[in-house]
A and B are shown apart, each in its own frame.
Chain A
Amino acid sequence: MNFSRSTVQPASFAATNAVFIGRSIRHSLRNVEALMMAIILPIMLMLMFTYVFGGAIDPSGDYVNYVVPGIILLCAGFGSSSTAVDVATDMSNGIIDRFRTMPIRSVSVITGHVVASLARNLLATGIVIGVALLVGFRPDAGIGDWLGALGLVVLFILAFTWLFAAIGIVTGSPSAASGYGFVLLFVPYLSSAFVPTSTMPSWLQGVAEHQPITPVIETIRALLTGTPVGDNGWWALSWCSAILAGALTWCAIAFRRRSGRR
């Protein structure tokens, strides 16, 4: 059979995205170590915070109800950081040049990584919640609250995954990109994820209360366990949307600029 230029139309935008998403999901499933990390890390963190630190922080045994939202975001932040490595690996391989010289929107290769990261992170989130329920997490949430929390977690994962995708494009080397993953791993500790900000020294409270993760955590906590939400919901949405918009723009610019440099 002959497939010549005149008889074959370039792939549609939807088909291009579908192919790249399928590719990245295959990559995720075949990177066994990373997949195991994504599953084991949440379980370890959940158990450690509940049984090792939990008794000291809140002797009543109710700490698990406090900490679940924090662990969800900690895992999501860590999980999305691996996108920087995946993207940097692609950018340093000749395959990106081949994609770029095809009549397709080659930036979709990044979309593929982002969607795969979303799938991995939602799996990790499901595991966090499952383990939490086993060790005594008792949420007080209706179906609407669950959906709201899920929506916010998805938005958070997308925002940070696109951010790490942009970092992967500009660093261009997998080992450099992996270094940045650790940075975000520490940001949740400087928030209300594990202890209320009121227990921190006042200079640190200023940081903890005005960084993006705190309102996201407080909103999820409010939705799942019925704590007062205040204006955290709006702050959470605003922060995540702003990071997402900034990261998308950065990705688009950085992806285009890479071609001129090589």
Chain B
Amino acid sequence: MIRSAIEVVNLRKSFGKQAVLDGISLTVGKGSIYALLGPNGAGKTTLIHILSTLTAPDSGYARIEGCDVVQDRNAVRQAISLTGQFAAVDEVLTGRENIAMMARLSGLSPAEARIRTNELLRRFDLEEAAGKRARTYSGGMRRRLDLAVSLVVDKPVLFLDEPTTGLDTISRRSLWEIILQLKQQGRTIFLTTQYLEEADQLADEIAVLSGGRIAATGTALELKARVGGEVIELRNAQDEVIRAIPTSGDVQDVRRALNEAASACPSDTRVVIRKPSMDDVFVALTTDHPIESKEATLA
């Protein structure tokens, strides 16, 4: 019995002299959502490409559902579905034709493909646009079509590379709902994102990728705890954050921070005490400076 859906051990990949992945190890439990968080160029897409058999690693290994991504490539391909960074739909074909094509390529008969296509169009709210070419779709519709296409056959492991990049807030939220539903149906989902909120909302476990290495892993709560306790935010009369002071969260330290603030700030400064955000975590983990030296965080 294999208990982990994805197992990655000491994976390395360089393009030319540049090490894109510099020794990555991670494990993803079956039926969970795992978020790989990192800025552009951190190596997120390269890792997804290796896990989805598109690129071979230089060293180390990765297994999906127990199958090696290099040696058992075909077995892996039967277990996974990749939704790439840019919606990978055929723009010349209609939404219906896109789904039907993938259904046929996945081995469904023409009759089965027709049934499945109708189901997916309904489920992803694309029935009205089914006969229109994908070129005319909005960003959100394109992403829904993209996901529908990747679900024509029930695959246990889904890779989503920046699923909501470029989407408006409403489309993003509706996509999050869909992703959470997919998890409830027992699928393992491995996603990459630049958005801290997305990782926070969706993921059971988060890995922060920075410079080809995993800077930290844990649940959103654990990661936030690593940064410390409450953050004291000082705001000016226009309610703009002028300074954020991290504290350990205990009374003495909060008093120290407030004393410091009281002596240094104009009299109309207001105070907000909040939990550290994922942004604080991100800044703390992906820069060389510890969070204490930051004058203000991104929040």
Q: Please list the residues of chain A having a beta carbon within 8 angstroms of any beta carbon in chain B.
A: 1-5, 8-12, 15-16, 19, 22-23, 26-27, 30-31, 93-95, 97-104, 259-260, 262
Contact = CB atoms under 8 A, between A and B. Distances in A.
Given A11-B106, A22-B101, A97-B88, 10 more contacts: A1-B115, A5-B153, A12-B107, A15-B107, A23-B93, A30-B133, A94-B88, A97-B82, A99-B105, A262-B55
A103 B84 contact: no
B54 interface: yes
Nearest to B110: A15
B78 A27 contact: no
Given A8-B107, A30-B92, A103-B74, A3 B101 contact: no
B81 interface: yes
Interface of B: 49, 52-56, 74, 77-93, 97, 101-102, 104-108, 112, 115-116, 119, 133, 149-150, 152-156
Given A1-B115, A5-B153, A95-B90, A101 B105 contact: no
Contact of B108 (A3, A23, A101, A104): A3
Contacts of B90: 23, 95
Nearest to A100: B54
Nearest to A108: B105
Contact of B89 (A2, A30, A95): A95
Contacts of B82: 97-98, 101
A19 B116 CA distance: 16
A15 B101 CA distance: 11
B105 A262 contact: no
15 contacts: A3-B112, A10-B78, A15-B104, A19-B104, A23-B93, A31-B92, A94-B87, A95-B88, A95-B89, A98-B102, A98-B149, A101-B81, A103-B74, A259-B54, A262-B54
